[in-house]
């Protein structure tokens, strides 16, 4: 065991501040030089008789402990920083990995949707996407698949309508026949792809007389069912007029056939059938529930309705139709057979076009060709309707009476010239 080292007394001038504090019972710590070394002196009285304790500690020892503690703290802090950094890097790597996984997952599903969209755009309606996720992308895939099914059905329906429209348009005559002594024009404007209105011109063999059948019909409703009934009625009529019988008998037989097809469907059609014999100068007609034809005489500025009894076709299979005759037909007269889509056209003020406006157009253009009169009527109706949608089919036939080039009167005039 080493022998203890005794402290050596310091000069009085160095101890004086300490002694002064002790004299007044004051404890404290002072920095002093002891044996040529910096030291810290801690002092204070420990007994009532004036005994005091003085503790001298080399300053270097205290600083060494402080430095050691500082190093310990710094090393611990740095270690925590390293651990935190490693954890942060790990977290970042996990987040990046998860982001890459989700990105690849989402991108893969979006790529499926993109590929299916391109297939659909190229007309492949078998394209489907198979996404198993239950998130928004999965819901989008299900909506996409349902959309393709609905779109395919609509495309098939549109194709069917296009075929029906093509067939129906082929049933309508491309141009009126050149009936001697007349100038004829016809128009049919459908509000849908297919409609129920129709017109037709049928050359007839009535012995020595040259006759022509002219018909305008209006089937109830619109769409394919109306187009089918229109085609059926047209075929029935064309087949029946080739056989013997009055036009009243002809329409009665056609009605019987139509009733077999309509049954309990509730469908029916109105018809105005007219036969002209230019040689005889007369008009014979049957009105089957259709609006009367309008005959305008410019010379008298007078309108006559070609009326007559008769219900719509397809309602009563036992109904008997009767014919009507007009024998006083003169040059310059204008005959219009139309459907109610003309005068029942409405504008934005819920006003109808009415037959009064129709007669006004006929009066204004009676001196023009039949095509000009037909164009004037359809244009005036379209202008009256404005931006409102067309709600019904529009069909009209214009027959303007002219001199028959084969008549004796015309031939004599040509000989005189």
Whether residue 86 lies inside any domain: the answer is no
Write down the pLDDT at residue 273: 97
Whether residue 395 lies inside any domain: the answer is yes
Write down the pLDDT at residue 209: 65
pLDDT (mean) for 230-250: 90
Rounded-to-integer distance, Cα 412 and Cα 417, Å: 9
Rounded-to-integer distance, Cα 4 and Cα 263, Å: 136
The alpha-carbon radius of gyration of the chain (Å, integer) is 55
Tell me the pLDDT band of 226, cut-offs 50, 70 and 90.
confident
Write down the pLDDT at residue 160: 63
| Number of domains into which the chain is organized | 2
355: nearest Cα among 396, 324, 389: 396
Query: Is residue 195's pLDDT more than 80?
Result: no
- Residue 65 burial (CB < 10 Å; 0-12/13-18/19+)? exposed
- CATH number of the structural domain spanning residue 198: 3.60.40.10
Rounded-to-integer distance, Cα 313 and Cα 232, Å: 12
pLDDT tens digits, 322-372: 999 998 888 999 999 999 999 999 999 999 999 999 999 999 999 999 999
Write down the pLDDT at residue 167: 57
The 3-class secondary structure across the chain, one letter per residue, is CCCCCCCCCCCHHHHHHHHHHHHCCCCEEEEEEECCEEEEEEEEECCCCCCEEEEEEEHHHHHHHHHHHHHHHHHHHHHHHHHHHHHHHHHHHHHHHHHHHHHHHHHHHHHHHHHHHHHHHCCCCCCCCCCCCCCHHHHHHHHHHHHHHHHHHHHHHHHHHHHHHHHHHHHCCCCCCCCCCEEEEEEEECCCCCCCEEEEEEEEEECCEEEEEEEEEEECCCHHHHHHHHHHHHHHHHHHCCCCCCHHHHHHHHHHHHHHHHCCCCCCEEEEEEEEECCCCEEEEEEEECCCEEEEECCCCEEEEECCCCCCECCCCCCCCCCEEECCCCCCCEEEEECCCCCCCECCCCCECHHHHHHHHHHHCCCCCHHHHHHHHHHHHHHHHCCCCCCCCEEEEEEEECCCCCCHHHHHHHHHC
Write down the pLDDT at residue 126: 66
Instruction: Give the sheet arrangement for strand 209-219, strand by strand.
Output: 197-206, 209-219, 269-277, 282-288, 324-326
Whether residue 82 lies inside any domain: the answer is no
> Among the listed ranges 42-51, 288-297, 339-348, 370-379, which one has the minimum average pLDDT value?
42-51
Tell me the pLDDT band of 413, cut-offs 50, 70 and 90.
very low
Query: Is residue 178's pLDDT more than 80?
Result: yes
Token representation of residue 112: 């499926």
Rounded-to-integer distance, Cα 374 and Cα 355, Å: 15
Token representation of residue 396: 């009209």
pLDDT tens digits, 58-70: 877 777 777 788 7
Write down the pLDDT at residue 137: 67
Whether residue 89 lies inside any domain: the answer is no
Whether residue 263 sits in one domain with residue 403: yes
With the C-alpha atoms ordered 239, 242, 244, 245, is the resulting torsion angle positive or negative? positive
Whether residue 347 sits in one domain with residue 225: yes
Rounded-to-integer distance, Cα 408 and Cα 186, Å: 29
Whether residue 144 lies inside any domain: the answer is no
Whether residue 407 lies inside any domain: the answer is yes
Write down the pLDDT at residue 156: 67
pLDDT tens digits, 372-396: 999 999 999 999 999 999 988 899 9
Q: Which domain holds residue 55?
A: 12-64
pLDDT tens digits, 298-323: 999 999 999 999 999 999 999 999 99
Token representation of residue 404: 């028959």
- Residue 397 burial (CB < 10 Å; 0-12/13-18/19+)? buried
Tell me the pLDDT band of 172, cut-offs 50, 70 and 90.
confident
Percent of the chain past pLDDT 90, that is, above it, reads 37
Whether residue 340 sits in one domain with residue 198: yes
Whether residue 200 sits in one domain with residue 332: yes
pLDDT tens digits, 263-274: 777 789 999 999
Whether residue 186 sits in one domain with residue 46: no
Query: Is residue 408's pLDDT more than 60?
Result: no
Whether residue 109 lies inside any domain: the answer is no
Write down the pLDDT at residue 292: 96
Are 393 and 190 a contacting pair, CB within 8 Å?
yes
Which of 20, 42, 64 is the last residue in one of the domains?
A: 64
Contacts of residue 311, defined as CB under 8 A and 6 or more positions apart, other chains included, come to 288, 289, 319
Which of 30, 47, 64 is the last residue in one of the domains?
A: 64
Whether residue 403 lies inside any domain: the answer is yes
pTM over 0.85: no
Across the chain, mean pLDDT equals 82
Write down the pLDDT at residue 52: 81
Long-range CB contacts (< 8 A, 24+ apart) of 224-227?
Answer: 224/160, 224/161, 224/164, 224/194, 225/265, 225/267, 226/194, 226/195, 226/196, 226/267, 227/164, 227/165, 227/167, 227/168, 227/194, 227/195, 227/196
């Amino acid at each position: 065991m080493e022998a203890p080292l005794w402290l050596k007394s310091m000069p009085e001038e160095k101890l004086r501040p300490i002694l002064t504090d002790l004299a007044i019972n004051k404890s404290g710590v002072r920095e002093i030089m002891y044996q040529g070394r910096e030291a810290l002196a801690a002092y204070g009285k420990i007994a009532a008789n004036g005994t005091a304790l003085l503790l001298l500690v080399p300053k270097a020892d205290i600083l060494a402990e402080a430095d050691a503690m500082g190093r310990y703290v710094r090393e611990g802090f740095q270690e925590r920083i390293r651990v935190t950094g490693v954890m942060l890097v790990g977290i970042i790597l996990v987040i990046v990995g998860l982001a890459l996984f989700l990105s690849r997952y989402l991108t893969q599903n979006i790529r499926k949707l993109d590929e299916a969209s391109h297939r659909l755009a190229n007309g492949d309606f078998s394209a489907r996407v198979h996404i198993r996720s239950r998130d928004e992308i999965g819901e989008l895939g299900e909506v996409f698949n349902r959309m393709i099914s609905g779109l395919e059905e609509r495309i098939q329906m549109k194709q069917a309508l296009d075929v029906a429209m093509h067939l129906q348009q082929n049933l309508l005559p491309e141009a009126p026949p050149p009936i001697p002594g007349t100038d004829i024009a016809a128009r049919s404007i459908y509000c849908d792809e297919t409609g129920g209105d129709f017109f037709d011109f049928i050359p007839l063999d009535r012995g020595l007389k040259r006759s022509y059948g002219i018909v305008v019909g209006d089937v109830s409703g619109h769409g394919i069912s109306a187009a089918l009934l229109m085609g059926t009625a047209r075929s029935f009529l064309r087949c029946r007029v080739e056989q013997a019988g009055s036009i009243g008998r002809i329409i009665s037989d056609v009605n019987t056939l139509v009733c077999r097809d309509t049954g309990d469907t509730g469908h029916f059609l109105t018809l105005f059938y007219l036969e002209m014999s230019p040689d005889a100068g007369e008009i014979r007609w049957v009105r089957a529930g259709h609006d009367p034809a309008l005959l305008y005489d410019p010379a008298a500025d007078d309108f006559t309705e070609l009326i007559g009894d008769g219900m719509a076709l397809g309602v009563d299979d036992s109904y008997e139709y009767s014919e009507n005759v007009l024998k006083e037909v003169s040059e310059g007269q204008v005959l219009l057979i139309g459907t109610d889509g003309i005068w029942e056209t409405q504008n934005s003020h819920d006003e109808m076009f009415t037959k009064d406006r129709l007669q006004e157009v006929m009066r204004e253009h009676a001196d023009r060709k039949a095509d000009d009169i037909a164009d004037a009527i359809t244009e005036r109706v379209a202008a009256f309707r404005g931006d409102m949608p067309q709600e019904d089919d529009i069909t009209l036939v214009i027959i303007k009476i002219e001199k028959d080039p084969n008549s004796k009167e015309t031939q004599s005039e040509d000989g005189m010239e």
